[in-house]
Homo-oligomer: A and B are copies of this chain.
Amino acid sequence: MDIERYLEEKRVEVEEALERYLPGEEDFPRTLHRAMRYSTFAGGKRIRPIFTIATAEALGRRGEEVMPLACAIELIHTYSLIHDDLPAMDDDDWRRGKPTCHKVYGEAMAILAGDALLTLAFEVIAAMDEDHDPSKVMRVVREIARAAGSMGMVGGQAVDIESQGKSVDFPTLEYIHIHKTGALILASIRAGAMMAGAGARELQALTDYGEAVGLAFQIVDDILDVEGEREVMGKETGVDALKGKATYPSLVGLDESKRRVEELIDRAISSLSVLGERASTLSAIARYIGKRTK
């Protein structure tokens, strides 16, 4: 299959759906809604929602059926980027080749835009009970909230912030990666699987897959911060080192980091064996992540 074409098609579908869920530029209060839209439509691969869609498809559902869930996860991802970029946090001026939300709309509006996107995500998921079994939707709300909360994504960001400028050991680095990035990627897959009615064995296989690709994704990010080119990445590279951030390359070296990525991608793909041919798209996405350059 042509995975790059698949990813591009789904990216367009996700963006069309996001357009439906977000308030318009002219909806009051306008500055807030413009800030929310600015960051949501600032580009990005939409890899998390595509995971949700591809997982549902692997279980015999149409991607359209899980689109609200997929978009909600992208809204959560977007809010987390806006808050992470704030001066009090990672203090980034650029993201995907554009000025960050607070550079354009100011800090207060950026904080509020993030808050509103997180809140909207739950509203969008909760509206799914019209087409789905409500107790399934509730289970998905819990899954997403746990993955995004203090024991998940926000917890990872908290430890990352506390670790800056300190010497960080490998278990702490893994904690940060697994929580800050891995948790929401894993949830995008698990929640898609739950919504699509996965059985226990299927859910376990997809969980193994999600844990492996989630960690691989972040290690690739670390590698790209060392090796990637500014023009391709749309943001400064080498910033992790400048900020004294621990990364896989800084702790175990570039070659070992790349070896770990390969190993994780192999593990992710072999986890899918119980799903058979249906999981070929998920396998291709894993392979793509192992090779991505931007």
Residue from A123, A141, A146, A159 with most neighbouring chain B CB atoms (10 Å): A123
- Residues in chain B near residue A141, CB distance under 8 A: 122-123, 125-126, 141
Are B159 and A145 in contact, CB atoms less than 8 angstroms apart? Answer: no
Tell me if A169 counts as interface (CB < 8 A to partner B): no
**Distance of A23 Cα from B146 Cα, bound (Å):** 12
Q: How many copies does the complex hold?
A: 2
Tell me if A149 counts as interface (CB < 8 A to partner B): yes
- Interface residues as binary, A210-233 with B (CB distance below 8 Å gives 1, 0 otherwise): 000000000000000000000000
Are A120 and B108 in contact, CB atoms less than 8 angstroms apart? Answer: no
Chain A residue total in the interface (Cβ 8 A): 52
Are A150 and B33 in contact, CB atoms less than 8 angstroms apart? Answer: yes
**Distance of A118 Cα from B117 Cα, bound (Å):** 11
- Interface residues as binary, A104-138 with B (CB distance below 8 Å gives 1, 0 otherwise): 00111101101110111011011101000111011
- Select one of B83, B112, B115, B162 contacting A161, CB under 8 A: B112
Are A119 and B137 in contact, CB atoms less than 8 angstroms apart? Answer: no
Interface of A (DSSP majority class): helix
Interfacial residues, chain A to chain B (CB-CB below 8 A)? 23, 27-29, 31-33, 36, 79, 83, 86, 88-89, 106-109, 111-112, 114-116, 118-120, 122-123, 125-127, 129, 133-135, 137-139, 141-142, 145-146, 148-151, 154-155, 157-159, 161-162
Question: In this complex, what residue of B is CB-closest to A22?
Answer: B150
